[in-house]
């Protein structure tokens, strides 16, 4: 079985995404209902995930809860603003968000920050495995993430580039930091940070 790699690039949007949403609709991309996702990020006491750019988070969206781990960022996983990483996701039963957070804290993980975002995902029948997500991140701003999942990172990265070009996104500034880092830098998530 091939490993599934998520390849993504994020850009800052100047207008909250309204113009992009209209363009996506005109090109046949179908929008999901907007959802609110809450992510609580963690780090190990002996390894600073802010330095290694690893991700350990508990994500909650309605009745959906999962724990996700993404390995450290390296020159191989991050090039030209494109991030290619294998994710490990553990789906939990509905309502287990607080138990998941408690478990991670009980085994010594350090809570870093809580990030809340409103996300609308757009899909196109001609681009299976690709999504364009418009995210409004509390305390950080509006962003677009173009994501492609597949087994070949080079092919996925090429599709990300083609989609961005078609959507006229190449002029928007790339954002290489995770939302976790942006929220912490803005001071918006510091209240949730624990020592």
CA atoms within 13 A on the CB side of 192: 18
Going by C-alpha positions, the residue among 157, 159, 153 that lies closest to residue 2 is 153
Distance CA 59, CA 158 (A): 28
pLDDT at 180 over 50: yes
pLDDT at 155 over 50: yes
Q: What is the pLDDT of residues 39-53, one digit of tens each?
A: 999 999 999 999 998
pLDDT at 186 over 70: yes
Q: What is the 3-state secondary structure (H, E, C) of 3-43?
A: CCEEEEEEEECCCCCHHHHHHHHHCCCEECCCEEEEEEEEE
pLDDT at 191 over 60: no
pLDDT at 188 over 70: no
Q: How confident is the model at residue 161, as a pLDDT?
A: 95
Q: How confident is the model at residue 99, as a pLDDT?
A: 95
Place of tokens 């809580």: 114
pLDDT band, very low/low/confident/very high, at 2 (cuts 50, 70, 90): low
Judged by DSSP in three states, 190 sits in helix
Q: What is the pLDDT of residues 18-44, one digit of tens each?
A: 999 999 999 999 999 999 999 999 999
Q: How confident is the model at residue 74, as a pLDDT?
A: 83
pLDDT exceeding 70 applies to what percent of the chain?
Answer: 94
Q: How confident is the model at residue 106, as a pLDDT?
A: 97
Judged by DSSP in three states, 59 sits in strand
Distance CA 89, CA 66 (A): 7
pTM: 0.86
Distance CA 60, CA 66 (A): 7
Q: What is the mean pLDDT of residues 91-110?
A: 95
Q: How confident is the model at residue 190, as a pLDDT?
A: 44
Give the domains, in start order, of the chain with CATH numbers: 5-192 (2.40.320.10)
Q: How confident is the model at residue 5, as a pLDDT?
A: 83
CB 36 within 8 A of CB 117: yes
């Amino acid at each position: 079985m091939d490993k599934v790699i998520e390849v993504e690039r994020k850009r800052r949007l100047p207008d909250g995404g309204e113009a992009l949403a209209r363009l996506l609709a005109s090109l046949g991309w179908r929008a999901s209902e907007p959802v609110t996702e809450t992510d609580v990020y963690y780090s190990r006491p002996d390894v600073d995930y802010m330095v290694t750019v690893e991700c350990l988070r508990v994500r909650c969206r309605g009745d959906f809860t999962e724990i996700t781990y993404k390995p450290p960022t390296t020159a191989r996983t991050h090039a030209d603003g494109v991030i290619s990483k294998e994710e490990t996701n553990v789906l939990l039963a509905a309502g287990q968000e607080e138990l998941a957070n408690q478990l991670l804290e009980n085994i010594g993980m350090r809570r870093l920050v809580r990030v809340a975002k409103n996300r609308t995902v757009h899909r196109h029948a001609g681009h299976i495995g690709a999504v364009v997500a418009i995210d409004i991140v509390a305390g950080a701003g509006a962003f677009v993430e173009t994501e492609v999942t597949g087994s070949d990172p080079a092919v996925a990265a090429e599709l990300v580039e083609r989609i961005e070009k078609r959507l006229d996104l190449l002029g928007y500034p790339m954002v290489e930091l995770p939302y976790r880092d942006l929220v912490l830098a803005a001071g918006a998530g510091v209240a949730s940070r624990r020592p």
